[in-house]
Amino acid sequence: MAEFMANNHASETTGTSPFFANYGYDPPMDFLDEQTLPTDDQGARSFVVTMTELHAQLRTAMGYAQEKQQENAD
């Protein structure tokens, strides 16, 4: 449970949780329901595009945070 909560907590650097960064959505808090991914090709393509854009934004946010940390360290 602790690991689940840690992976669902938004990072101060990126503003998103590790779970969201990997899957593109926050997990449901109701553990009895199952989430399903799109099964048609269009849904899969849309998911890939969304995740690619999300990862680009996260890389930018992490780069910015690293620059700020480097400036403070120098």
The domain limits of the chain are: 2-25+40-73
Query: If you average pLDDT over residues 37-58, what whole number do you get?
Result: 81
pTM value is 0.51
pLDDT band at 13 (very low <50, low <70, confident <90, very high): confident
Question: What is d(CA 13, CA 3) in angstroms, rounded to the nearest whole number?
Answer: 19
Task: Report the C-alpha dihedral over residues 36, 37, 40, 45, rounded to 10 degrees.
Answer: 170
pLDDT at site 36 = 57
pLDDT at site 14 = 86
- DSSP, collapsed to helix, strand or coil, labels residue 69 as helix
Query: If you average pLDDT over residues 57-61, what whole number do you get?
Result: 91
Question: What is d(CA 21, CA 62) in angstroms, rounded to the nearest whole number?
Answer: 12
pLDDT at site 44 = 80
Query: If you average pLDDT over residues 52-69, what whole number do you get?
Result: 91
